[in-house]
Amino acid sequence: MLYVKEVVVPAGTQFTSPVEEHVHLEEDYITRVEVQFPAGVHNEVYVALFYGEQQIFPSTKGQWVTGNNETVGADVTIPLYDKPTKVTIRAASPNADYDHTVLVRISTSKRYYVDYPFYLYLIAKYLAGV
């Protein structure tokens, strides 16, 4: 399943009070995340995705993705335990002079489509604190 959400980010939106939008997912796993930045953004809009308070994209806590006339994405395997699952999109644009709209795409899958050895690897990595 593919979920798509447009996020309007007003000019001057600070990191301390980002715009928040929510997407409610019904499947068992997130398998891909993408953020499309239109031409003219010039790396002045920043986006991060969260499952609860756990940052899931980009995977490094405290980091944001940005871009200009490009789509930034990653293949992921993130298990979802709550149905529906609320994913929060946070966006900021502290130095932008204009409002911008970015497009967030989240691909999901039912349990039986996921590669279980990779899932076990992720659990081990999480438990090891890496």
What are the distances in angstroms from CA 45 to CA 13, 15, 25? 9, 10, 25
**What CA–CA distance (Å, rounded) separates 25 from 74?**
18
Number of structural domains (the chain) is 1
The CATH number of the domain where 84 resides is what?
2.60.120.380
Structure confidence by residue, pLDDT tens digits, 9-31: 999 999 999 999 999 999 999 99
Structure confidence by residue, pLDDT tens digits, 74-109: 999 899 988 899 999 999 999 999 999 999 999 999
Confidence band for 59, pLDDT divided at 50, 70 and 90: very high
**What CA–CA distance (Å, rounded) separates 93 from 41?**
9
Domain span including residue 121? 2-128
Confidence band for 63, pLDDT divided at 50, 70 and 90: very high
At residue 42, the pLDDT reads 96
Which amino acid is located at 107 in the chain?
Answer: S
Contact (CB, 8 A) for 41 and 82: no
